[in-house]
Amino acid sequence: MEKKDIFILAIESSCDETSMAIVKNGCDVIALSVFTQIDTHKLYGGVVPEIASRMHTEVITIVLDDVLKKANMKVEEVDAIAVTYAPGLIGSLMVGIECAKTLSLIYNKPLIKVNHIAGHIYANNLTNKIIFPTLALVVSGGHTDLVLMKNDYDFEVLGTTLDDAIGEAYDKVARVLGEKYPGGPNVEKLALKGKDTYNLPIPLQDDSYNFSFSGLKSSVINEVNKCKMKKEEINKENLACSFQTSAIASIVNKCEKAIINLKTKNFIIAGGVSANKYLRNQLINLCDKYNVNLSLPDFVYCTDNAAMIGAAAYPLFLKSDFSSFDDVNPESRLPLF
Ligand code: KG4
Ligand code: ZN
């Protein structure tokens, strides 16, 4: 018997993007709508939670109309509603969750709750197909984790950051260098024009799979302060390049150690910082060296979007892992397992 196609309407509102998608069989994006609030939060140098939740409320029905129009579908035609419930900003998550519960109730569709980080990981299925067992490097604004996945939803966290996440470090360095929020892409642009002249230390060169970026961030701040005291002009391009070189070297070193020790055959990356071309190129070289199959998600699926939530909801749908309304509540911090 031919397998029936499964359509999931997915909702993501954990931070400053209101997004909905319709995803077929966990891998085909039928339609994606993303409304970003970046231009508003830019004015404040970072995401203002109260403004974020208010803006989600204002646009969520517009985003719903938009995605249905793009897909040329009705809510009646989807098989389930999926929504991000954690981790993220409580007020922001709440808007997506209430919308998902409302749609589930009105249209009598099962509700699937999805962990945002699982979403970033499953974004890989929208571009390639995750092959298990695989190592997963999660690099986002809130996370820096090296995860071993032997199967769907089997997350063994090998290492994590002891302080700042890598995206957070990029954002803070951007601020010190006078660049706008979100800093990551701006620091990457600066770095491209610079040279690694500052030779900043590579953080946490130990035997663990953990990461640390706050010391490196302090080194950048020290360099800026030294220049200010000497009334010298800071070379932003070179400092950005030096920061990026050390930060990414520490990540790539830990990935190399894991590839060797675990005899890894497959490697996937996830999260906003996976859009960074320097990191992508370093990982391409690393995986070439050890003959490891590398999956890089398309750029649109690296940063927050609902298509990744639809992809992550699919294995849960197949297991009929549905949730009652009482069971779907926002949580600000939540580990993967
Ligand atoms: O995954 P994401 O969209 O949101 C979270 O779940 O945290 O990641 C956002 C983070 C921000 O810190 C942003 O500065 C960083 O990803 N980012 C980048 C790049 N694009 C986004 N960092 C470095 N290089 C980039 N090209
Ligand atoms: Zn994210």
Query: For 111-143, how does the pLDDT look when each residue is reduced to its tens digit (9 = 90+)?
Result: 999 999 999 999 999 999 999 999 999 999 999
pLDDT tens digits for range 139-160:
999 999 999 999 999 999 999 9
On the question of pLDDT at 294 being above 60, the answer is yes
Q: What is the pLDDT of residue 1?
A: 65
**What separation in Å is there between the alpha carbon of 193 and the centre of ligand 1?**
20
**What separation in Å is there between the alpha carbon of 258 and the centre of ligand 1?**
23
Q: Tell me the CA distances in angstroms from 98 to 32, 66, 204, 228, 285, one per residue in order.
A: 20, 18, 42, 49, 44
Domain 7-122+301-327 CATH (choose: 3.40.50.10860, 3.40.50.920, 3.30.420.40, 2.30.130.40): 3.30.420.40
Domain 131-296 CATH (choose: 3.40.50.1000, 3.20.20.150, 3.30.420.40, 3.60.150.10): 3.30.420.40
Of ligand 1's listed atoms, the one at least distance from the Cα of 116 is 6
3-state secondary structure of 75: helix
Nearest to 236 by CA among 197, 292, 208: 197
Q: Are the C-beta atoms of 167 and 176 separated by less than 8 Å?
A: no
As given in the structure block, the two tokens for residue 323 are 């949730």
Ligand nearest to the CA of 274: 1
Ligand nearest to the CA of 139: 1
Neighbour-count burial for 277-295, b at 16+ CB within 10 Å, e otherwise? eebbebbeebbeeeebebb
**What separation in Å is there between the alpha carbon of 157 and the centre of ligand 2?**
18
Name the residue at shortest CA distance from atom 10 of ligand 1. 141
DSSP 8-state symbol, 145: E
**What separation in Å is there between the alpha carbon of 155 and the centre of ligand 1?**
22
Q: How many CB atoms neighbour CB 175 within 10 A?
A: 16
Q: How many CB atoms neighbour CB 58 within 10 A?
A: 13
Query: Counting Cβ atoms within 10 Å, is residue 208 exposed (0-12), middle (13-18) or buried (19+)?
Result: middle
Q: What is the mean pLDDT of residues 35-47?
A: 88
Q: What is the mean pLDDT of residues 258-285?
A: 97
Domain boundaries, the chain: 7-122+301-327, 131-296
Neighbours of ion ligand 2 (CB under 5 A): 140, 304
**Phi and psi angles of residue 156, each rounded to the nearest 5 degrees, phi first:** -110, 105
Q: What is the mean pLDDT of residues 240-244?
A: 98
**What separation in Å is there between the alpha carbon of 202 and the centre of ligand 1?**
21
As given in the structure block, the two tokens for residue 231 are 């009334």
On the question of pLDDT at 337 being above 60, the answer is no
Q: What percent of the chain has pLDDT over 70?
A: 99
Does residue 196 come out as left (phi exceeding 0), alpha (psi in the -120 to 50 range) or beta? beta
Q: Are the C-beta atoms of 42 and 180 separated by less than 8 Å?
A: yes
Ligand nearest to the CA of 303: 1
DSSP 8-state symbol, 153: T
DSSP 8-state symbol, 211: B
Compute the distance between CA of residue 140 and CA of residue 39 in angstroms, rounded to an integer. Answer: 20
**Phi and psi angles of residue 135, each rounded to the nearest 5 degrees, phi first:** -90, 140
**What separation in Å is there between the alpha carbon of 63 and the centre of ligand 1?**
22
Of ligand 1's listed atoms, the one at least distance from the Cα of 181 is 14
Does residue 223 come out as left (phi exceeding 0), alpha (psi in the -120 to 50 range) or beta? alpha
The reply to whether domains 7-122+301-327 and 131-296 share a CATH topology is yes
Q: How many CB atoms neighbour CB 13 within 10 A?
A: 36
- Average the pLDDT over each of 44-53, 85-94, 127-136 and give the range with the smallest value: 44-53
Compute the distance between CA of residue 60 and CA of residue 55 in angstroms, rounded to an integer. Answer: 8
Q: What is the pLDDT of residue 42?
A: 87
Residues near ligand 1 (Cβ within 6 A): 15, 120, 140-142, 167, 170-171, 182-185, 188, 271-273, 275-276, 303-304
Compute the distance between CA of residue 291 and CA of residue 65 in angstroms, rounded to an integer. Answer: 45
Q: What is the mean pLDDT of residues 18-45?
A: 94
As given in the structure block, the two tokens for residue 330 are 């926002």
Name the residue at shortest CA distance from atom 1 of ligand 1. 272
The one-letter amino acid code at 176 reads: V
On the question of pLDDT at 166 being above 80, the answer is yes
**What separation in Å is there between the alpha carbon of 42 and the centre of ligand 1?**
14
**pTM, to two decimals:** 0.95
Which residue from 115, 120, 140, 304 has its CB within 8 A of the most atoms of ligand 1, so it is best to mutate?
Answer: 140
Ligand nearest to the CA of 270: 1
As given in the structure block, the two tokens for residue 255 are 């990935």
Name the residue at shortest CA distance from atom 14 of ligand 1. 184
